[in-house]
A and B are shown apart, each in its own frame.
Chain A
Amino acid sequence: MNKVSDIQRLQLVKEYLQNNQRAFYRLAYSYTKDCDAAMDVVQDSAVKAISKIYTLKNPDFLKTWFYRILVNESINYLRRQKHLSFEDQADFLQAPPGKDIPEAVDLYRAVQRLEPKIRTIILLRYFEDMKLEEIASVTHTNLSTVKSRLYKGLHILRCDMKE
C-alpha cells in the first residue's frame, strides 16, 4: 500500500510543479536577477523535489516543503555569485516591468536590494501571500526570527521610501 501512496505523492508533486511554475520562476528571478539562472534554479529545485520526495512527510505541507527547496537553491545560487557586484545588476534595476506607478517600482526595487534573508521574508509575506507560520517553516527558523526579520525589512523599506 505504501507503493501506491508513493506514486500518488509523485503525481501530486508533478502536478503542483506544473501548475505553479510561473510563481516559482518569479521568486527565483527575484534572487538571481537573470532569466537563465532563474530557470536553472527552478529546474534544479524541481529535480531535487522529485528525487527527495521521501522527505515530504505530509502532503499538506507540499507548498512550504517545496518553497524551502526553492529558496535554498536560490540563496545557494547567490552564494556562488558573490563576486558579482551590485553594479552588475544595474540593468535589472533600471528596467523594471511595470512603469505607470513610480512609487511601486521604487518599492519593488528597494525590496530587491534587501539582504537575501530579509528579502525572503518580504517576498513570501507580501508577494506570495504566505502566513508567517508558513514562512517560518520555509526558512527553517522560528516564528520570532521571522517576525524580527519582517519588522527589520519593513523598517528599512519605509526609510528607503521616505528619502
Chain B
Amino acid sequence: MKSENFFQGAKKVYESIEIPTELSSRMESAIDTAMPKHHYYYRQAVCAMAACFALFVTALNTNQVFAQSVSELPIVGTVAKVFTFREYTWHDASREITAQIPAVSGTGNDDLEARVNAEIQTRVDAILDEANKRSELEHKAFLETGGNEEDYIPVTVTVTYDIKSSNEKYLSFTITETEVRASSYTEHMFYNLDLTTGEDITLEDLLGEDWKSIADESIREQIAQRSQIEGNIYFDGSDGIPGFESVGDHPNFYINASGNPVICFDKYEIAPGYMGTPEFEIPLPSEQTDS
C-alpha cells in the first residue's frame, strides 16, 4: 500500500483535532507582546548619534576624566539622554546572548549619571552572570543525562531597553531581560529620573499622598473594564489563585509620553501567562498636572 493512502484516515483524525476558541486571542496577544515597540524617530536618532558616539563610547568606558569632559559638551547635553553603552553578543552550544546595555548621559547632572550608570551595570552584569550559570548547568545536565549535543536547543537571553519618555524635566526608561527556553521569562527594570533633583521619581511625587489608593482604584476599574472583552482574563481569587489586590509599596512603573505613570505587573502576577505583562496607565489628578 502506498504510504499516503496508509495515512489517509489517520490524517482525517489529525485534522479533526478540536481547536480551542481562545487560540486566536492568545495568538493576538503573542503578536502584540512580541512586536517591536520602538518608535522610528527614536531609532533613526540613535543611528545618527551612533556615528558621533562610536569614537568615544569606548573611551567613556575606560576613562573617567574623559567621561566628565564629554558631559560638558553642549551638543551632547541636548541630544543624548539614554544610549547603548555596551553591546554584547555571545553564542555557543548552551546559549545565545544578545545584550544592549544603556547608559544615561547629557543630563547635566554627573552624580545622577554616575549612580544610575553604575547601578545599571551591576544589575545587568548580575543578570547575565545568572543566565550564564543557569544555561551552563542545564546544558551540562542535558548531556549528562544522555542527551545528544546536536539536539540541544540553546537558551536565548536578550537584554534591551526602551525609552518611555524623555524631556527637560524627567527621563523614564525600562531595561528588559528575556530568557527563552520552552517558555519565555521576562524581567524588567524601571528607571524614572527627575533631572532637576537627580532623584528617582516616586508615585507619590506624581499622584500625591493618596497615590496608593488612587492607583489601586484605577487598576481595579481598568481590570473590570478589560475583563469584559472576550479572552481577557485576570485572576480573581477563584481557583485559589489570588488576583490583583493592591499595588503594594514599590510598584514598577514608567512615565509615558503624556506624563502619566504606567504601572506594570510581571507575567503571571495578576493574570495567566498569555496575558503577557499587564500595564495600567494612571491618569494624574487634574489639579496636579501642572504643578
Contact = CB atoms under 8 A, between A and B. Distances in A.
B58 to A, nearest CB: 25
Interface stretch (B3-11, B115-123, B128-136, B201-209): B3-11
Contacts of A21: 23-24, 27
A143 interface: no
Contact of B274 (A3, A39, A154): A39
Q: Is the interface of B mostly helix, strand, loop or mixed?
A: helix
Q: Is the interface of A mostly helix, strand, loop or mixed?
A: helix
Contacts of B30: 17, 42-44, 46-47, 50
Contacts of A26: 14-15, 17, 19
Interface stretch (B33-41, B61-69, B237-245): B33-41
B182 interface: yes
B35 A10 contact: yes
* Number of chain B interface residues as a range: 35 or more
A86 interface: no
Contact of A98 (B6, B13, B36, B184): B13
Given A17-B31, A52-B156, A76-B181, A43 B274 contact: yes
A97 B18 CA distance: 8
B27 A96 contact: no
A49 B34 CA distance: 9
12 contacts: A25-B19, A26-B14, A43-B30, A44-B30, A48-B184, A76-B182, A97-B17, A104-B12, A104-B13, A107-B9, A108-B13, A127-B7
